[in-house]
Amino acid sequence: MTRAPIPSSSPVAEIDLHNIASNWKALAKLGGSAETGAVVKANAYGLGAQKVSQHLYEAGCRTFFAAHIDEAIEVRKTVGSLALIFLFHGVQPDNVEAVIENDIVPVLNSLDQVQLWLKHNAPMPAALHVDTGMNRLGLQIKDLKQVQSTLPPNRIGWIMSHLACADTPNHPMNARQLELYKKVAAIWPHAEKSLSNTAGICLGSEYAFDLTRPGIGLYGGYARRDVFEPKNCVTITAPILSIIEPEPTIDASIGYGATYPVKPNQRLATIALGYADGALRALSNAGLVFIGGVPCPIVGRVSMDLITVDITNATSRTSVLDRVEFLGQHAHIDRQALAARTASYELLTSMGDRIKRVYYPSDGSGRE
């Protein structure tokens, strides 16, 4: 594969669209007969909603999920008129016209949204999001009688709910939500059913229903060795700006707050990547980068534009402008997220605008 030149002095995210499509296919297989959509909210988890949607569309995906109206419209413009595009946040007085105009399927989350949708005689059916225990967004069970009496059943095309604990397979809440969801969905037998995100798909085929909604698994997060091992889709590298071997004086330390004492014979590299780029500050004295496959711990605090890493164990040939891997094949996204005591979702969506996104395969336009 020909690779575009990478600017030598800045952080770069190389995004592998082939692997995203291949993860989508793997999740489709796990979902059995269910149709497999793609969640591309938040700019496809920071990777670029246009590129990702376009590539997944070419791979056969025909259903996309966005959270905000602007995201939904961007996807519509990208994939054309044949795809289904759902809007998780549903209709509001100021977006309902745009929803109809762009042929977006709103996910109705409250009685107010049901009322608003009812007032607009839209040609397409809506999705109902019923809260089965997360107490976050969605119609409450006690609201459903009123929905039944106001919204004609032919205006409801999908019944949706969302799992709170799917990433903990043994959590009793999974089975509880599944049972309640089945009861709710039985009220509208003609409607299609959708319950599962990535982790839900991994719980087993009884969670897949008619339509699944994977996000993070498409992008290489949520590896579950027993069922699903996604391919790496994002490789973030950044160049070394300087290498030093500081004097290990008694009070020598590294970075803001002097949180890490310098050790004898320690070789330190300072990298052009900081929390403004998504190297979360919580990775201070906790994360790792890799140089030629060798783990190099982040030492001292992460600052806005820089991190310092201990390269004592890396090859002695390591020099200025060599690139280190912050996320990728070695610096696995789940592992880096764990080190920051967060989730892969936050790590991806924190990727700053300063990181240049380079796509493989490129679209051939030469604009990459």
Ligand X SMILES: *Cc1c(COP(=O)(O)O)cnc(C)c1O
Distance CA 230, CA 217 (A): 6
Encoded tokens for 321: 């402008």
Cβ closest to ligand X, residue 117 vs residue 158: 158
Whether the Cβ atoms of residue 11 and residue 47 lie closer than 8 Å to each other: no
Chain positions contacting ligand X, by CB under 6 A: 39, 41, 88, 162, 197-199, 213-217
Distance CA 282, CA 256 (A): 14
Q: At closest approach, how far in Å is the CB of 194 from ligand X?
A: 8
Cβ closest to ligand X, residue 85 vs residue 272: 85
Distance CA 345, CA 325 (A): 19
Cβ closest to ligand X, residue 127 vs residue 283: 127
Distance separating the N- and C-terminal Cα atoms of the chain: 14
Encoded tokens for 354: 């300063």
Q: Catalytic: 41?
A: yes
Whether the Cβ atoms of residue 295 and residue 330 lie closer than 8 Å to each other: yes
Cβ closest to ligand X, residue 138 vs residue 255: 138
- Give residue 201's region: left, alpha or beta (phi > 0; psi -120 to 50): alpha
Cβ closest to ligand X, residue 197 vs residue 270: 197
Q: Catalytic: 256?
A: yes
Q: At closest approach, how far in Å is the CB of 226 from ligand X?
A: 17
Q: Which amino acid is at 185?
A: A
β-bridge partners, 308: 270
Q: Which amino acid is at 264?
A: P
Q: At closest approach, how far in Å is the CB of 91 from ligand X?
A: 16
Q: What are phi and psi of 32, to 5 degrees?
A: 60, -125
Q: At closest approach, how far in Å is the CB of 138 from ligand X?
A: 9
Q: Name the active-site residue from 25, 231, 256, 360.
A: 256
**Coarse DSSP helix, strand, coil percentages of the chain, rounded to the nearest 5 percent:** 30, 20, 45
Minimal CA–CA distance to 191: which of 227, 137, 148? Answer: 148
Q: What are phi and psi of 216, to 5 degrees?
A: -55, -35
Q: Name the active-site residue from 41, 51, 207, 260.
A: 41
Q: At closest approach, how far in Å is the CB of 65 from ligand X?
A: 7
User: Residue 225: CB partners within 8 Å, gap ≥ 6?
Assistant: none
The residue at minimum Cβ distance from ligand X is 215
Q: At closest approach, how far in Å is the CB of 215 from ligand X?
A: 3
Cβ closest to ligand X, residue 39 vs residue 139: 39
Angstrom CA distances, 145 to 126, 142, 184, stand at 17, 7, 11
Distance CA 89, CA 291 (A): 42
Distance CA 167, CA 200 (A): 7
350-353-356 Cα angle (round to 5): 110
Q: At closest approach, how far in Å is the CB of 10 from ligand X?
A: 28
Cβ closest to ligand X, residue 199 vs residue 291: 199
Q: Known catalytic residues?
A: 41, 256
